[in-house]
Structure 1
C-alpha cells in the first residue's frame, strides 16, 4: 500500500463528490462549481473512518433563518477539520456547534456514504473499514 497524506485525502474527496452523492434535500442546488454542496454529513463520516475523533454538527443560518445542519470533524488532537465549509457561498453562518455521537448501524444516507467511500478508496487504494 502506498502511503498518503491529508492533501491526498482532500483531493480524493473533492473528485468523488457528485450529484449522486449529494443530500437529496440539496440536490436541486448542486452544481459542479460547488461540489461540496450537500456532502458535509457523509464526508465527515468518511474522515471519521480514516482519522477517528469526534463528529461535530452545527446549525446553518441564512438571513437569520435556520436552513439546516452542517457536519465536520474534530480530530483526536482537538483540531477541527471542515473540508466542506466552502459550500456556503451566500454568507451562511454555522452556529451552535456541538459534538455528536456517530449514528450506529446503517445511516440515513447509507448508499451515498458507501458510494463516496468507494470512490475515495479508489483514489487512495485503501480505507479502513467503516465505523458502524
Structure 2
C-alpha cells in the first residue's frame, strides 16, 4: 500500500492547481486540495472519507481498512488533531473549491 500511495501522491502533486482547489499555492501545493484528493483516493482505493475540523474549515482525508491516509496533511504547519468524523462523497463534493482552507 505504501508504494501505491507514494506513486499516487506524486501524481496528485503534479495535478493539483487552482482548478482542483481554489486555495492552491505554488509554495504550498496541498493547500485546499483535501476534498478532491479524498475523492480520488476513495475512487482508486475504496474505503471511507473522513473529516476533521481545522481552524476555519473542515479537512477531508481517507480511511482504507483500518489505516488513516491524509495525502494533503503537508498543507498545515502544525500537526492535525484527527477527529475521524464520518463524511461522504457528497459532503466532500459540496466543499470542493467553495471554501477557503487554512495554510
TM range (shorter): 0.7 to 0.9
73, 81, 87: which one pairs with 1:100? 87
- The within-5 A match list for 1:40-55 is 40-55=34-49
Instruction: Kindly state the Cα deviation for residue 96 of structure 1 after the two structures are TM-superposed.
Output: 3.3
When the two structures are superposed, what TM-score results if normalisation uses the length of structure 2? 0.77
Identify unmatched segments of 5+ residues in structure 1: 62-66, 113-132
Q: Deviations over 1:55-110 (max 9, x none)?
A: 0001003xxxxx111000000x2100000011012x37445331123228xx3367
Alignment RMSD: 2.4
Q: Distance in 2 between matches of 1:68 and 1:46?
A: 20
When the two structures are superposed, what TM-score results if normalisation uses the length of structure 1? 0.61
The alignment of Structure 1 onto Structure 2 pairs a total of residues equal to 94
Contact 1:53–1:73 (Cα < 8 Å) also in 2: yes
1:15 maps to 14
Q: Distance in 2 between matches of 1:82 and 1:95?
A: 10
Larger radius of gyration: 1
2:57 maps to 68
